[in-house]
């Protein structure tokens, strides 16, 4: 009995891993089909630009988040200046803004017709004032930097906090001042963490669809969307997707090679040392620097968003919004529950199978976080469409009548894609919770006369509850904000808040995009609150 | 004490008070360290010894008083010479080895403005004395605890500091390694003619390493002395309690340094200055009580702890007083047996005025480590 149940667990885990493996395989197999005219057109006229754009965007955002994230982490952990405590947590807030929200607010604020340039012109009296063009490579790099620096900031802060102060003291006792200590000790020691943060930033940048679309900055994700929805060429979309996937996989491999080095760099936190007390001048500089980043990345856009939302509220808020909200919540809730369940299956499969096979299955299954949503959408749509056609043919053969589309064009296909993309998000907290359920706890429960199911129910579940809750919340918020998968796989007319934002912004209606954006940002604040609460505990 | 008056102290701490997070943790501490001496601050955790050490290194500002290094002011209220400008070496409790640098790079980290040849020469010399030549290219996480400690020491010694500070240098090591390494460390520091200040809460480490020991509690230095005097002539109840084992017996002062206790009259070389007839506590160390089969003074064995070469007996005297006796372990007596003892009559016996004289002698002072609940104030 137990044996067959465990076999079922293994089979279920493997099926979950296939949710990632099949789309990846399908995308790569697009090269087996003969090249289409559309592809030849892409290769000749578009591909070069895409590669160039992607390269500059990745490089710029990397450098930007490196500079901003590391400097902020350094200031808020190692130095003492007025406001440091508040900045330390407030600088995480930009995580709540999806990149595309920051993107459209920035365009609304800083475009030629936006309030900032208008105010400048009326203040100076000049009709044509020079102002950096926001809709440019520099503009999109700046916006993504401001939206994504928290990844580098958070992880680097951890590194500095566990070892920074102590190691700076060691360097000082050996005759190195703060500047020399920073470059020779703190920075090299934090390198594995910084690299981890940058890898996350790069993955987000490569996967970004909404922000680059708002800036009309063509990258692979927007090209995939255009190939599919404007040029109606799924094969070309798949071929583009495969190129993006190659870049991403190279990145994942690099990160995996670098990661183990982090283990050895953890110093035991010793007696707390003293932060560097900045001189008045430097303290003022630190304060204004932190304040400027916080203002640009969160306070200003949030204020503008609220203002716009308030303006359009009377005539824009109607019955359709109930639909948007209902669709969004239904999708997010269903996806969160499914994803958490899938993660739970993976965790149990590893627990009950000591071999490496289930670990490998888990690694594949959680790889979806690296696969951009646009790629996943293509990779899931193709096999599902094929399956639907088979089913239709079969139904026609069996019942001599036409069946409708079963999976494609329903929310089921979206849910499959979400599970695949966000499994890692749910897996991390559940796995961490399961770590605390040591094997001897099982033995103790069994020794006290509990059966296998009773053990799961009365011992495991209470211990896993916190992890499950975190997993559900995190996936819920991710799905709410998700744009490319929702856009490409949704049933006709099934609009969500994110889709509404895409539609409004693609017509340049920044104001009208504000209302759904506010809802998303508020939801995005939840995981940050969770993060802060956990940080308080440690 | 050798030529105290002539040599300039390498380190002088003058009436220093320190605060941490608004709490005062060190009160009006003064001491001086002569060149070449090895000094230890000994005290229970939280007594302020580590904060004192960090202030000497320049990591903590002083609230009151002054710290002088080789006759020059290094810390005074409102001004602290930065640690990197003090020329002090420090060995941290967790060693603080740079995880991204190998042994050689860790050791040479503090050698700035030193020629390449000289750098290599010092590295080789230090690694050879420390027996680390084979580990030269290893990373810290590949080393054993003892090796890590030696790398930390070599790194601190490499810039040839006049003064080296060590914060619980043996705390991450297991007990056997501690004893051996503290011997080695002392010899090594002497060979390099280094002046050292160390902080620990283990008296055996302090005894093994230090010429002078300052016993600290609650931010005060309670006694500054050598190991012998701390053990046999504790200046306060706290020191007697914190250092070593022993038992307290009530006694009546007879004058002229004589005190009458249960077993008879003893002469204390360290007579409490108080009037005749007053009740005091007399500290008897286990080595003050000698086993002697021929003695008329008998005591009953109530507890025994086998320690290899010796047995530590807890004995009950006729009137209920308890003493400890350290006896060669081939004198194996059973619990309940009565054995003959002698109290050594010379001035090894120390006594201490009871802070609050108790009129009625207790039926026996508490044996073992903790001599009594109340701490000397």
Read off the CATH number of the domain in which B36 is found.
3.40.50.300
What confidence score (pLDDT) does residue B188 get?
82
What confidence score (pLDDT) does residue A401 get?
65
The domains located in chain A, with CATH, are 35-307 (1.10.3720.10)
Task: Give B375 or A453, the one with higher predicted confidence.
Answer: A453
- What end-to-end distance do the CA atoms of chain B give, in Å? 28
Task: Check whether B274 has a pLDDT greater than 80.
Answer: no
DSSP B61-88: --SEEEEEETTEEEEETTEE--GGGTTE
B interface with A, Cβ–Cβ < 8 A, is: 50, 57-60, 82-85, 87-90, 92-94, 96, 98-100, 109-110, 112, 139-141, 155-156, 159
> Percent helix, strand, coil in chain A (nearest 5)?
80, 0, 20
The arithmetic mean of pLDDT across residues B262-281, rounded, is: 70
User: Among positive and negative, which fits the CA dihedral B124, B127, B133, B139?
Assistant: negative
Where is the domain boundary, B208, B232, B256?
B232
* B283 and B147 within one domain: no
Task: Check whether B369 has a pLDDT greater than 50.
Answer: no
What confidence score (pLDDT) does residue A440 get?
80
What confidence score (pLDDT) does residue A1 get?
42
Task: Give B374 or A95, the one with higher predicted confidence.
Answer: A95
CB contact under 8 A, B82 and A174: no
Q: Where are the alpha helices (DSSP H) in B158-221?
A: 175-191, 203-209
What confidence score (pLDDT) does residue A536 get?
60
* Closest chain B C-alpha to A243 CA, distance in angstroms: 36
Q: Is B286 helix (H, G, I), strand (E, B) or coil?
A: helix
Q: Residue B197's closest CA among B65, B74, B31? A: B31
* B296 and B220 within one domain: no
* B289 and B219 within one domain: no
Residue B356: pLDDT band with limits 50, 70, 90? very low
Where is the domain boundary, B232, B258, B291?
B232
Task: Check whether B195 has a pLDDT greater than 60.
Answer: yes
* Closest chain B C-alpha to A178 CA, distance in angstroms: 9
Which chain A residues touch B90 with a CB distance below 8 Å? 169-170, 173
* B199 and B69 within one domain: yes
Give the number of other CB atoms < 10 A from CB of residue A430. 24
The arithmetic mean of pLDDT across residues B196-223, rounded, is: 89
* B344 and B206 within one domain: no
d(CA A262, CA A193): 7
pLDDT digits over A333-386, tens only?
A: 999 999 999 999 999 888 888 778 888 899 889 888 889 999 999 999 999 888
| Structural domain count, chain B | 2
Task: Check whether A191 has a pLDDT greater than 70.
Answer: yes
d(CA B139, CA A74): 26
Q: Residue B341's closest CA among B291, B269, B288? A: B291
Give the number of other CB atoms < 10 A from CB of residue A449. 7
Q: Which residues pair with residue B90 across a beta bridge?
A: B165
pLDDT digits over A40-57, tens only?
A: 888 888 889 999 999 999
pLDDT digits over A250-285, tens only?
A: 988 888 887 766 555 555 554 556 788 888 999 999
Pairing of strands B79-80, B88-91: unpaired
d(CA A94, CA A515): 18
What confidence score (pLDDT) does residue B187 get?
85
Which chain A residues touch B98 with a CB distance below 8 Å? 167, 170, 185, 189
* B275 and B216 within one domain: no
Please state, rounded to an integer, the average pLDDT across all residues of chain B.
Answer: 82
What confidence score (pLDDT) does residue A292 get?
96
Residue range(s) defining the domain that contains residue B77:
11-232
Q: Are A209 and A374 in contact (CB under 8 A)?
A: yes
What confidence score (pLDDT) does residue B361 get?
37
Q: Residue A193's closest CA among B341, B317, B99, B104? A: B99
d(CA A57, CA A369): 20
d(CA B12, CA B29): 10
What confidence score (pLDDT) does residue B367 get?
37
d(CA B228, CA B217): 19
* B254 and B221 within one domain: no
pLDDT digits over B163-194, tens only?
A: 999 998 887 777 777 777 787 888 888 888 88
Low-confidence winner among A316-325, A528-537, B107-116, B124-133 (lowest mean pLDDT)? A528-537
* Closest chain A C-alpha to B90 CA, distance in angstroms: 6
Task: Check whether A452 has a pLDDT greater than 50.
Answer: yes
- Domain CATH for B341: 2.40.50.140
What confidence score (pLDDT) does residue A535 get?
64
* B139 and B25 within one domain: yes
What confidence score (pLDDT) does residue A408 get?
67
What distances in angstroms separate CA A185 from CA A78, A431, B97, one per listed residue? Answer: 13, 33, 11
pLDDT digits over A376-394, tens only?
A: 999 999 998 888 888 888 8
Question: Nearest 5 degrees, angle CA B317-CA B320-CA B324?
Answer: 50
Per the document, the length of chain B is 377
Structure tokens at A234: 């799924």
* B342 and B214 within one domain: no
Confirm whether B48 is domain-assigned.
yes
d(CA B194, CA B160): 9
d(CA A488, CA A471): 25
Which chain B residues touch A277 with a CB distance below 8 Å? none
pTM of the entire predicted model: 0.80
d(CA A38, CA A230): 11
d(CA A516, CA A509): 12
What confidence score (pLDDT) does residue A266 get?
53
CB contact under 8 A, A270 and B94: yes
Task: Check whether A317 has a pLDDT greater than 90.
Answer: no
* B328 and B219 within one domain: no
Structure tokens at B169: 């240098």
Task: Check whether A306 has a pLDDT greater than 90.
Answer: yes
DSSP state of A491: P
Using CA coordinates, name the residue in chain A closest to B20.
A274
* Closest chain B C-alpha to A67 CA, distance in angstroms: 22
Q: Are A407 and A388 in contact (CB under 8 A)?
A: yes
Confirm whether B205 is domain-assigned.
yes
What confidence score (pLDDT) does residue A6 get?
63
* B33 and B93 within one domain: yes
């Amino acid at each position: 009995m137990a044996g067959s149940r465990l076999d079922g667990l293994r089979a279920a885990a493997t099926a979950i891993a296939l949710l990632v493996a099949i789309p990846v395989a399908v995308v790569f197999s697009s090269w087996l089909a003969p090249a289409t005219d559309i592809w030849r057109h892409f290769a000749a006229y578009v591909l070069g630009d895409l590669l160039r754009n992607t390269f500059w965007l990745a490089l710029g955002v990397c450098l930007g988040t490196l500079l901003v994230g590391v400097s902020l982490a350094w200031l808020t952990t190692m130095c003492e200046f007025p406001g440091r405590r508040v900045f330390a947590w407030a600088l995480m807030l930009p995580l709540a803004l999806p990149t595309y929200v920051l993107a459209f607010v920035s365009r609304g604020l800083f475009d030629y017709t936006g309030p900032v340039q208008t105010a400048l012109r009326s203040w100076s009296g000049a009709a044509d004032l020079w102002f950096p063009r926001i809709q440019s490579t520099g503009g999109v790099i700046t916006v993504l930097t401001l939206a994504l620096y928290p990844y580098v900031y958070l992880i680097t802060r951890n590194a500095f906090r566990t070892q920074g102060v102590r190691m700076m003291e060691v360097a000082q006792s050996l005759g190195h001042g703060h500047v020399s200590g920073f470059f020779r000790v703190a920075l090299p020691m934090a390198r594995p963490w910084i690299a981890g943060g940058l890898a996350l930033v790069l993955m987000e940048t490569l996967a970004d669809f909404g922000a680059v679309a708002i800036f009309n900055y063509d990258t692979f994700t927007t090209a995939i969307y255009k190939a599919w929805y404007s040029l109606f060429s799924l094969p070309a979309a798949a071929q583009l997707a495969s190129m993006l996937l190659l870049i991403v996989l190279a990145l994942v491999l690099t990160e995996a090679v670098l990661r183990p080095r982090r283990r050895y760099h953890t110093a035991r936190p010793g007696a707390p040392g003293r932060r560097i007390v900045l001189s008045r001048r430097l303290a003022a500089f630190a304060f204004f620097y932190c304040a400027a980043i916080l203002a640009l990345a969160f306070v200003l856009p949030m204020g503008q968003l609220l203002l716009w939302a308030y303006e359009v509220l009377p005539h824009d808020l109607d019955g359709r919004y109930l639909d948007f909200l209902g669709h969004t919540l239904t999708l997010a809730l269903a996806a969160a529950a499914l994803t958490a369940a899938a993660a739970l299956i993976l965790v149990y499969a590893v627990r009950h199978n000591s071999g490496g096979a289930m670990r490998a299955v888990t690694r594949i299954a959680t790889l979806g976080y690296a696969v951009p949503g646009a790629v996943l959408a293509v990779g899931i749509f193709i096999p599902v469409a094929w399956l639907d056609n088979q089913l239709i043919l079969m139904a026609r053969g069996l019942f001599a009548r036409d069946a409708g589309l079963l999976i494609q064009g329903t929310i089921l296909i979206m849910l499959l894609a979400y599970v695949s993309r966000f499994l890692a998000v749910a897996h991390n907290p559940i796995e961490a919770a399961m770590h605390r359920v040591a094997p001897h706890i099982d033995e103790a429960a069994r020794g006290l006369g509990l059966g296998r199911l009773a053990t799961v129910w009365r011992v495991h579940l209470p211990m896993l509850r916190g992890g499950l809750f975190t997993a559900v919340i995190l996936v819920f918020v991710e799905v709410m904000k998700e744009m490319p998968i929702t856009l490409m796989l949704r049933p006709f007319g099934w609009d969500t808040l994110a889709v509404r934002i895409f539609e409004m912004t693609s017509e340049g209606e920044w104001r009208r995009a504000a209302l759904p954006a506010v809802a998303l940002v508020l939801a995005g604040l939840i995981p940050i609150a969770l993060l802060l609460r956990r940080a308080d505990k440690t | 004490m050798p030529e105290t008056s002539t040599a300039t102290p390498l380190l002088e701490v003058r009436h220093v008070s320190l605060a941490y997070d608004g709490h005062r943790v060190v009160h009006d501490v003064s001491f001086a360290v002569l060149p070449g001496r090895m000094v230890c601050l000994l005290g229970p955790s939280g007594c302020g010894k580590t904060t004192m050490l960090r202030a000497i290194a320049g990591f903590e500002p002083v609230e009151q008083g002054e710290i002088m290094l080789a006759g020059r002011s290094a810390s005074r209220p409102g001004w602290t010479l930065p640690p990197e400008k003090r020329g002090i070496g420090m060995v941290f409790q967790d060693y603080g080895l740079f995880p991204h640098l190998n042994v050689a790079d860790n050791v040479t980290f503090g050698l700035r403005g030193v020629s390449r040849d000289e750098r290599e020469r010092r590295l080789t010399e230090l690694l050879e004395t420390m027996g680390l030549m084979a580990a030269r290219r290893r990373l810290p996480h590949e080393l054993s605890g003892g090796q890590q400690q030696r790398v930390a020491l070599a790194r601190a010694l490499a810039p040839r500091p006049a003064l080296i500070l060590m914060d619980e240098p043996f705390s991450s090591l297991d007990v056997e390694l501690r004893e051996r390494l503290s011997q080695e460390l002392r010899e090594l520091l002497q060979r390099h003619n280094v002046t050292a200040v160390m902080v620990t809460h283990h008296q055996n480490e302090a005894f093994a390493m230090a010429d002078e020991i300052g016993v600290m509690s609650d931010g005060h230095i309670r006694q500054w002395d050598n190991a012998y005097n701390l053990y046999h002539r504790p200046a306060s109840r706290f020191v007697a309690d914190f250092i070593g084992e022993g038992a307290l017996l009530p006694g009546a002062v007879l004058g002229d340094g004589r005190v009458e206790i249960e077993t008879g009259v003893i002469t204390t070389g360290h007579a409490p200055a108080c009037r005749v007839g007053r009740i005091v506590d007399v500290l008897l160390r286990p080595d003050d009580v000698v086993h002697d089969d021929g003695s008329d003074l008998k005591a009953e064995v109530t507890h025994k702890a086998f320690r290899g070469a010796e047995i530590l007996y807890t004995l009950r005297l006729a009137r209920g007083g308890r003493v400890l006796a350290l006896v060669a372990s081939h004198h194996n007596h059973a619990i309940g047996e009565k054995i003959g003892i002698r109290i050594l009559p010379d001035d090894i016996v120390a006594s201490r005025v009871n802070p609050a004289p108790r009129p009625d002698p207790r039926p026996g002072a508490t044996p073992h480590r903790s001599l009594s609940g109340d701490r000397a104030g």
